[in-house]
Amino acid sequence: MRYKSLLCCVLAGYLLFSAIEAQTSDQEITRNVQGVPKVVDNENKSVEASDRIPNPITIFLCGDVMIGRGIDQILPHPSDPTIYESYMKSARGYVKIAEEVNGPIDFPVSFSYVWGKALKEMDRVVPDVRIINLETSVTKSNDYWKGKGINYRMHPENISILTAAKIDVCSLANNHVLDWGYSGLLETLETLRNINIKIAGAGRNLIEAQAPAVQKVQGKGRVFVFAFGLGNSGIPTVWGAKDKKPGVNLLEDLSAKSLRDIQEKVRHVKREGDIVVASIHWGSNWGYGIPREQRVFSHRLIDEAGVDIIHGHSSHHVKAIEVYKDKLILYGCGDFLNDYEGISGYEEFRADLSLMYFATVYPSTGKLLRLQMTPTKIRRFKVIRASNVDTLWLKDTLNREGASFGTNVILSEDNRLTLQWD
């Protein structure tokens, strides 16, 4: 009897081994460019491991969206074109110089016009959440901030420009949201709320300015967006919100105290399966250098404050990307939309080029699964796909700047970029 039982065990083990061997002969385990396991079956069909992971969340992020001034003038309901700059006295002047460089704009344009090819890209990817840094006051206010030099505003009746792109969250902690005074800020907040766009980084008081935007993703989880601004990005100190005063969520510095304040607010709301984005307006407009304090603060936000993605902006051009402990850090996303065509200076930084960042993360951990980027260009106040030459320039720039962070990008046949990291 004992021998019979032993024989049965041996036979069962053999059959199990044969089944495993047959399976692995039909399915080869490989790894994709992000280091994520991938299965290739016997019909040569690639099956991403992410497809078997329940409900990853994809977030669209981009740099500054500046839809005031010249862009506002080509929309169906332009504001009074009067502006108070040493360079230009009418917002229509920015339309004129753009047309001189790249040809006529047949305006008024539709609300979807400025997004151009970006709309098709978002339809292709279908991100779960769409986040932008809105660097424009949305107001009819004439109470411009005196002495500031540049004042962006868009007429509230043009607000459908944001719904045309199905924007979910606007970060407002930047150096243009109060360009037309406190009345302009309050009208901006009201206008965005009226179309159900979530707001982060500004409010009618300090509590509102510090509160995160919360976007629920059906069947997947929640995305919290906290927005902060630093004075070194050009935000006047007096713009900081107070207990009984409107303003932006202004960080005094990148100190341990600032970190603890953020840590406390994240801890108060974050639950298992939530993703937290810190959208930060920091640093100068030009230059590729990443200050050590930015890098240290970013790491501590991830290590100690429970942040999963850092969405950095203020630079008019793209900057280095880092993946720290599998968490995404975008130090500078560049300008996604602006009215700078025809303005000379800093051409070597290519402020006309930008990226659509599509970050896919695990809700259970907040870790980055993949980052795919679509290169874009601004032409006649509209987003178009970057040419092959321009895409190669972006690729080389990201690889040069990312080398010290252990990141690089590869170019696909469809002229898109995919991040690799150590």
Q: Which residue has the tokens 């070597």?
A: 348
Sequence-ordered list of residues with C-beta below 8 angstroms from that of 154, at least 6 positions apart, any chain: 67, 68, 71, 72, 75, 79, 136, 137, 138, 139, 161
pLDDT at residue number 4: 40
How many Cα atoms occupy the beta-carbon half-sphere of 77 within 13 Å? 13
pLDDT at residue number 109: 98
Q: Which amino acid type is present at position 250?
A: L
pLDDT at residue number 55: 87
Q: What are the residue ranges in the chain where pLDDT is below 70? A: 1-54
**CA separation for the pair 310, 319 (Å, rounded):** 13
Q: Under CATH, which number does the domain 51-421 receive?
A: 3.60.21.10
pLDDT digits (tens, 9 = 90+) for 70-117: 999 999 999 999 999 998 999 999 999 999 999 999 999 999 999 999
Q: Is the pTM of this model over 0.85?
A: yes
pLDDT at residue number 87: 87
pLDDT at residue number 413: 92
pLDDT digits (tens, 9 = 90+) for 168-182: 999 999 999 999 999
pLDDT at residue number 21: 39
Sign of CA dihedral 111, 114, 116, 119: negative
Coil/strand/helix, residue 16: helix
Q: What is the dihedral of CA 11, 17, 19, 21, to 10 degrees?
A: -150
Question: At 51, phi and psi to the nearest 5?
Answer: -65, -20
**CA 75 to chain CA centroid, nearest Å:** 24
The domain spans of the chain are: 51-421
Residues in the chain: 422
From 308, 304, 336, select the one nearest 324 (Cα to Cα).
308
